[in-house]
Chains A and B, each alone.
Chain A
Amino acid sequence: MIQLESVYKTYWQNKDEEFDALSDINLTIDEGIVVLKGISGSGKSTLLSLIAGFDKPTSGKVIVDGMPISKLPDLHLSAYRANKIGFVFQHFNLIESLSVEENILAPLANQDIEISQAKTKVQKVMQEVGISHKAKQNIKNLSGGEKQRCAIARALVGEPSVILCDEPTANLDRENSLKFIEILKTLNSSNRTIIIATHDPIFDDMRLEYQTIHIHSGKIGS
């Protein structure tokens, strides 16, 4: 379970000029798919950053499975990200010089795990998202849809309980966006919390059960 209690996130553009990216966010998210909807700049990505532990709230608490992550020191926060969170970025954020399987292996490289076990996990997630045939390919040579699948596989390989997707279809054509949603449907069946920040109307057209949260100017709407 993810709980946000009176969360504020403020950025200072100049010394005096402050910008409230999030204001008084109070939210409880259970298992299943949650779609955060809102226009660009509404605070969706900031909210995901706080849940992922990339950033800390200016005030308030972010609690994941009873753990107040906004208070964690860096080492524990890294372990939290490695064990609990899988993040799919809008621009994929893959290591360009590495191959598909090396990118997917990356989250396991700092884990206490046997090499054979790690390779099996990598193979399994590559098959799940349908990218096995490109395992040895360099990221540079992949299409947008293939990069997306590689990013999803990397997010899944650590078997996280929370998957965060930031504008996952923004850089995909319709065909690849539909494929992404198909993958989401399979992931939904495995007791995970999946939070998708998007303003893509494609999610409305799909037969997908999800909870919707609207964000507007950093505040939760109806």
Chain B
Amino acid sequence: MKSSVFLEFASGFVLRQKSKHLNTMVISIVLIFILSSVMFVSSSIKHTINSSLNNQPDFVITPVQDGINQTLDIDMVEQISSIRGVVRVNARVYGRYYFRIKGKSFLIVGVDFFDEQNSKLLQKLIGDNSLDEFFKQDNMIVSSEVAKFLKQHFFDNSYTFKLPDGKFKSVHIYKTIPHNTNLIANDMIVMPIELAQKILGLGEDEVTQISFDVPNDAEWQNIENKLYLKFYNINVTNKKEIKSYYDDMFNYKGGLFMVLYLVSIVTFMMILYQRYSSINTNDSKDIGILRAIGWSIKDVLKLKFFESFWVVMSSFIIGVVAAYVYVFMFDAPLLIDIFIGMDNLPLDIELTPYIDMGMLVSLWLLFVVPYISATIIPSWKIATTSATEAMK
């Protein structure tokens, strides 16, 4: 068959010229590796955050008066519940507790452990033990980083909080939140709402957030409008806004990288084009020889396409696989710090393997198409000149 003789010849042609392609391949692999790593980190973080947000309530109300954070009255729970279309209304307490000696702070989250929505999640954390067991004493669930930090400061099993009235409150560490949630719960301490109110100096009727669900998406805007009419001192945030905030944040960081590396790719392609435009004497001679022995322009371009495709696909596959290993097996050392920054507590996260195929295809197109064009166009120029000229 025609194709098999061609493939036999073309394979020999490419493999015999490995050294010619080595430099180009090394640069291509590095570029693809960096771009894919950025893309993998960015999509993995976004995927993790989106998955976490799926378990969150549709709306969160926070108090705002003249730009100053206030508290909400727990009675609002009933008022909000009375709005038609609103379900699962919950009060919660969010606040920072400062560990002043080291200049660190923890995020205290007080929730109603007996609420239907919270209880499923908390039951997972508590494990087989019943809630009664949890409530036998003052217990809290801390993130793995908080646990590590407290242990470093000799608080292995419990921590004594200093309350706003000067008294002390010892709270037992009941469980550690799994390491894979560090991205959203790095400095988090979860405890019963009443305990959180005490530690943060809030009254029994004061909460910092009220969450609720609106199952009918089409009603979201109406409910928001109703809330703003009913309460003047609140800010309503829905899940989509939070999701788009995170998306924007990581798209921005990933985008910066993409811009930088797109510039690198464009530069690389220009160098490549330049290199193949002033196509070296051997390449030009080879094309001339092939034309002289009866190859058409189409045949020459087919060979050059095969050659470029082989180089660029090998580079692409090696680069992407290396990036996958670097990101998902070694958790992208160095790169991850640029993405998530240094948090209040050191952020040690595990990146969940997740590949955005759309992004991967875009990257493929972004790299492979210009690469092949940059190498094919100069070859085409040579192939269209006279064979004797090309062989000189």
Instruction: List chain A positions with a Cβ less than 8 A from chain B.
Output: 49, 52, 54-55, 74-75, 78-83, 85, 87, 89, 93-99, 102, 105-115, 118, 138, 154, 158
Query: What are 22 A-to-B residue pairs whose CB atoms are below 8 Å?
Result: A52-B292, A54-B386, A54-B387, A54-B388, A78-B297, A85-B294, A89-B292, A93-B391, A95-B289, A95-B290, A97-B13, A97-B17, A97-B20, A102-B13, A106-B295, A108-B5, A110-B6, A110-B295, A111-B5, A114-B1, A115-B1, A115-B8
Instruction: List chain B positions with a Cβ less than 8 A from chain A.
Output: 1-2, 4-6, 8-10, 12-13, 16-17, 20, 282, 285-286, 288-299, 386-388, 391
A34 to chain B, nearest CB (A): 20
CB within 8 Å for A93 and B292 given contacts A102-B16, A106-B9, A118-B5: yes
CA distance A158 to B295 in the complex (A): 12
Flag if A98 contacts B13 (CB, 8 Å).
yes
- Most chain B Cβ neighbours within 10 Å, of A79, A89, A108: A108
- Most chain B Cβ neighbours within 10 Å, of A89, A105, A113, A115: A115
Sorted from nearest, which 10 A-B pairs have the closest CB atoms?
Answer: A82-B294, A109-B9, A78-B296, A81-B294, A110-B299, A107-B293, A115-B4, A112-B2, A97-B16, A102-B12
- Most chain A Cβ neighbours within 10 Å, of B290, B294, B295, B296: B294
Residue of A nearest to B298 (CB): A75
CA distance A52 to B292 in the complex (A): 8
CA distance A81 to B292 in the complex (A): 7
CB within 8 Å for A49 and B388 given contacts A95-B286, A102-B12, A113-B2: yes
Residue of B nearest to A84 (CB): B294
CB within 8 Å for A99 and B295 given contacts A55-B386, A105-B5, A108-B5: no
CA distance A144 to B73 in the complex (A): 98
CA distance A78 to B292 in the complex (A): 8
Q: Report B-chain residues with C-beta under 8 Å of the C-beta of A81.
A: 292-294
CA distance A111 to B8 in the complex (A): 13
Flag if A54 contacts B292 (CB, 8 Å).
yes
B286 to chain A, nearest CB (A): 5
CA distance A109 to B297 in the complex (A): 14
Flag if A82 contacts B16 (CB, 8 Å).
no
CA distance A95 to B300 in the complex (A): 14
CA distance A118 to B4 in the complex (A): 10
Residue of A nearest to B19 (CB): A97
- Most chain B Cβ neighbours within 10 Å, of A52, A109, A111, A113: A109
Residue of A nearest to B289 (CB): A93
Flag if B291 contacts A78 (CB, 8 Å).
yes
Q: Report A-chain residues with C-beta under 8 Å of the C-beta of B4.
A: 114-115
Q: Report B-chain residues with C-beta under 8 Å of the C-beta of A89.
A: 292, 391
Q: Report B-chain residues with C-beta under 8 Å of the C-beta of A49.
A: 388
CA distance A158 to B292 in the complex (A): 13
Flag if A109 contacts B6 (CB, 8 Å).
yes
CB < 8 Å neighbour of A99 from B1, B12, B291, B297: B12
B6 to chain A, nearest CB (A): 5
CA distance A199 to B16 in the complex (A): 37
CA distance A115 to B5 in the complex (A): 5
Q: Report A-chain residues with C-beta under 8 Å of the C-beta of B1.
A: 114-115
Flag if B10 contacts A109 (CB, 8 Å).
yes
19 other A-B residue contacts (CB within 8 Å) besides A93-B289, A105-B8: A54-B386, A75-B298, A78-B297, A79-B294, A81-B293, A85-B294, A89-B292, A95-B289, A98-B16, A99-B12, A102-B16, A106-B289, A107-B293, A109-B8, A110-B299, A111-B5, A138-B16, A154-B293, A158-B294
CA distance A95 to B293 in the complex (A): 12
Flag if B289 contacts A111 (CB, 8 Å).
no
Flag if B16 contacts A75 (CB, 8 Å).
no
